[in-house]
């Protein structure tokens, strides 16, 4: 249905924001820290609940003519959204936010899918991911809010929460482990025939290997390209929620989504083989009980790491205590002229992620210890960040110099760390097995699926 809609006539805005994975983990970490209950709510027939601003007509639904006398050439005017409309998700988001505000919720400016409300001197926090809702707070207040939402929507409440947006939540007395074992099983089933012929590895890619975008002459056919896109897309979703250890390898694979060679395909299979054969792993969130959260950031850059366009690679990870809340591996926008410049740009990139996290935590009434320490393994980059050097930085885009303002405002403090102790190293390049294992232990944990609490 949606592909027949005309932009500007049948729809205008279609973007519907969703809860970010960082805010999702922050909510869970807060619930563990405060001892709050966690409840998930599934809104049934969500897209049928929202109103439409546009005038849209559809043909008579199948079966209606058999029970109602319908004149020839009759069409139906939609009064509510239906599944298949491109603006359905957007309209539902507007509807649920309107309902939440009428109840008394405050919506975050940092993340439009975060909200909070104070009931009986106790705060309840909410996260929205399309038609899935996550609420944390005291059990009595959660029951009150669930009853209020039932007055408008048909909902199903899940407690305890064992899954949210495709991510498993394994609870125990000490905390929660986030993993995606079902998605890994699907990957194994989809590529099983090819994986059985492959040798297993302790790392997703070989040290210092690269994924190179091929020429048209070396490209695989459409069928194999579709399988490459499917496998890489699934790996991307694993990276998003529970597998930071494969972030750099998957970033490299995404270079070839439009055209891939047989070598690229085999590199993708190696990453899948690593994920499938090295046990179920996930991100661990532990109870801390701290009144003030201590944030640690690690950033690294691989100068000219992209062997084709010579752009540098930035990688970062952000911890709240021992809990990993944020990570990423990204190619920088511009070519840099030195490793110092690449690291300087990387510092600026992580500061954007850090400021977002701080804003989210402040909305969740979490006290953050300032300044936040950002660990970097390049003394030159630290000097550039802390000093106004005109000759060496005049060509650098002004958006990267904002880091100096954050330092002077006492939000960020840049700290030197030795390269061998920089956890972010695994987000910028394919490292040796020893380095990978050393840093990987701080990022993910094995999941014991037999001993569940």
Tell me: the pLDDT tens digits for 196-206? 989 999 999 99
How does pLDDT run along the chain (453 residues), one tens digit per residue?
657 888 888 888 888 999 999 999 999 999 999 999 999 999 999 999 888 888 899 888 888 877 888 888 888 889 899 898 999 999 999 999 999 999 999 999 999 999 999 998 899 999 999 999 999 999 999 999 999 999 999 999 999 999 999 999 999 999 999 999 999 999 999 999 999 989 999 999 999 899 999 999 999 999 999 999 999 999 999 999 999 999 999 999 999 999 999 999 999 999 999 999 998 999 999 998 788 999 999 999 999 999 899 999 999 999 999 999 999 999 999 899 899 999 999 999 999 999 999 999 999 999 999 999 999 999 999 998 888 766 666 667 767 788 889 999 999 999 999 999 999 999 999 999 999 999 999 999 998 765 554
SS3 of 386, please? Answer: helix
Give pairs for 239-243: CB < 8 Å, separation 24+.
Answer: 240/21, 241/21, 241/165, 241/166, 241/167, 241/178, 241/180, 241/283, 242/167, 242/178, 242/179, 242/180, 242/281, 242/282, 242/283, 242/444, 243/180, 243/275, 243/281, 243/282, 243/444
Alpha-carbon separation of residue 361 from 16, 111, 183, 236, 288 (angstroms):
22, 11, 30, 26, 15
Contact 90, 15 (CB under 8 A): yes
CATH code of the domain occupying 2-55+75-165: 3.30.70
**CB atoms inside a 10 Å sphere around CB 208:** 9
pTM above 0.85, yes or no: yes
* Residues present in the chain in total: 453
CATH code of the domain occupying 288-416: 3.30.420.10
Question: Domain boundaries in the chain?
Answer: 2-55+75-165, 180-277, 288-416
Residue 143's nearest CA partner among 169, 113, 122, 114 is 122
Going by C-beta distance under 8 Å and a sequence separation of 6 or more, which residues neighbour residue 394? none
Alpha-carbon separation of residue 94 from 46, 85, 192, 432 (angstroms):
12, 15, 43, 48
Contact 48, 302 (CB under 8 A): no
């Amino acid at each position: 249905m949606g592909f027949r809609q005309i932009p500007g006539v049948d729809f205008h805005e279609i973007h519907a924001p969703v809860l970010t994975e960082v805010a999702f983990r922050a909510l869970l970490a807060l619930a563990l820290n405060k001892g709050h209950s966690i409840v998930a709510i599934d809104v049934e027939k969500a897209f049928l609940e929202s109103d439409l601003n546009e005038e849209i007509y559809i043909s008579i639904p199948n079966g209606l003519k058999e029970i109602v006398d319908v004149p020839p050439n009759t069409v139906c005017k939609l009064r509510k959204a239906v599944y298949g409309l491109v603006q359905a998700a957007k309209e539902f988001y507007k509807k649920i936010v309107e309902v939440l505000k009428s109840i008394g919720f405050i919506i975050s400016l940092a993340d439009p899918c975060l909200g909070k409300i104070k009931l009986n001197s106790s705060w309840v926090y909410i996260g929205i991911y399309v038609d899935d809702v996550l609420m944390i707070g005291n059990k009595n207040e959660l029951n009150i809010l669930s009853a209020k939402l039932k007055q408008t929507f048909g909902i199903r409440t899940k407690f305890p929460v064992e899954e949210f947006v495709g991510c498993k939540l394994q609870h125990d007395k000490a905390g929660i482990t986030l993993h995606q074992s079902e998605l890994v099983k699907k990957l194994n089933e989809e590529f099983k025939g090819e994986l059985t012929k492959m040798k297993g590895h302790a790392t997703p890619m070989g040290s210092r290997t690269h994924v190179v975008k091929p020429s048209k002459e070396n490209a695989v056919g459409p069928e194999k390209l579709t399988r490459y896109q499917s496998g890489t897309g699934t790996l991307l979703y694993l990276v998003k929620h529970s597998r930071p250890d494969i972030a750099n390898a998957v970033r490299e694979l995404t270079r070839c989504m439009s055209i891939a060679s047989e070598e690229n395909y085999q590199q993708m299979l190696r990453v899948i083989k690593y994920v499938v054969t090295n046990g179920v792993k996930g991100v661990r969130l532990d109870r801390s009980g701290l009144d003030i959260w201590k944030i640690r950031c690690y950033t690294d850059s691989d100068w000219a790491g992209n062997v084709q366009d010579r752009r540098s690679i930035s990688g970062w990870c952000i911890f709240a205590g021992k809990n990993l809340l944020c990570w990423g591996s990204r190619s920088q926008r511009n070519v840099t002229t030195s490793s110092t410049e690449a690291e300087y740009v990387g510092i600026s990139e992580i500061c954007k992620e850090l400021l977002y996290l701080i804003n989210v935590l402040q909305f969740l009434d979490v006290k953050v210890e300032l300044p936040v320490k950002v660990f970097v393994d390049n003394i030159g980059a630290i000097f550039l960040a802390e000093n106004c050097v005109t000759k060496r930085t005049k060509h650098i885009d002004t958006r990267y110099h904002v880091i100096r303002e954050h330092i002077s405002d006492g939000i960020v403090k840049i700290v030197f760390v030795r390269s061998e102790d920089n956890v972010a190293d695994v987000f910028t390049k394919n490292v040796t097995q020893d380095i990978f294992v050393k840093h990987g232990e701080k990022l993910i944990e094995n999941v014991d699926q037999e001993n569940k609490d």
